[in-house]
Amino acid sequence: MAAERDTSQAQRFLREAIELAFANVARGGRPFGAVVVRDGEVVATGVNEVVATLDPTAHAELLALREAGRRLGTPDLRGCTVYASGHPCPMCLAAMRLSGVGAVFYAYSNEDGAPHGLSTAAIYADLARPFAQQSMTIAHSPVRLDGRPDLYETWRRQQEEREGRAG
């Protein structure tokens, strides 16, 4: 029964993501919508605004995650599920993982999008290769500032101080 309810819930929220995507297409946007859900309730939605904002990161999933963080008052989105109209790109999937999202469901696959120039399968394939073999140069260049403490150590100490004050 729980699996049936979960399937029904997934279908409902995927339909909502697709409706958002259709509305975005009608406004001249790209065909992507996303819904963030926690405990069966919609926390946030987003549509792809890359064309409208000229921001290459304004993907539906990222905008929905940002709004969910604002509404929940935390960047920790554990317990949330994302429902997306299309297969999330690597950037969006990484953001979901970094924020703690526990599951993602999508309606249209990369295979569905490929004939329309909407697949990110090639990016996934490139990212699976070692850095030296990827199409983008990725290089570690260790630089430190003279007279400055270690950046990460400074951050860690400040976190400990904040936690000490909060506790």
Known catalytic residue at 49: no
Confidence of residue 6 (pLDDT cuts 50, 70, 90): confident
What is d(CA 27, CA 25) in angstroms, rounded to the nearest whole number?
5
Please give the distance of CA 21 from its chain centroid, rounded to a whole number: 16
Question: What local confidence, expressed as pLDDT, does residue 167 receive?
Answer: 62
- Quote the CATH superfamily of domain 1-139: Cytidine Deaminase, domain 2 (3.40.140.10)
Q: What is the mean pLDDT of residues 49-61?
A: 98
What is d(CA 37, CA 43) in angstroms, rounded to the nearest whole number?
5
- Kindly report whether the global pTM for this prediction surpasses the value 0.75: yes
What is d(CA 84, CA 145) in angstroms, rounded to the nearest whole number?
43
Is 4's pLDDT higher than 90?
no
Mean pLDDT rounded to a whole number for the chain: 95
Question: What local confidence, expressed as pLDDT, does residue 69 receive?
Answer: 98
Q: What is the mean pLDDT of residues 56-81?
A: 98
Angle at 110 between CA 92 and CA 46, to 5 degrees: 40
Confidence of residue 1 (pLDDT cuts 50, 70, 90): very low
Is 3's pLDDT higher than 50?
no
What is d(CA 63, CA 44) in angstroms, rounded to the nearest whole number?
9
Q: Which is catalytic among the residues 41, 61, 67, 163? A: 61
Question: What local confidence, expressed as pLDDT, does residue 5 receive?
Answer: 55
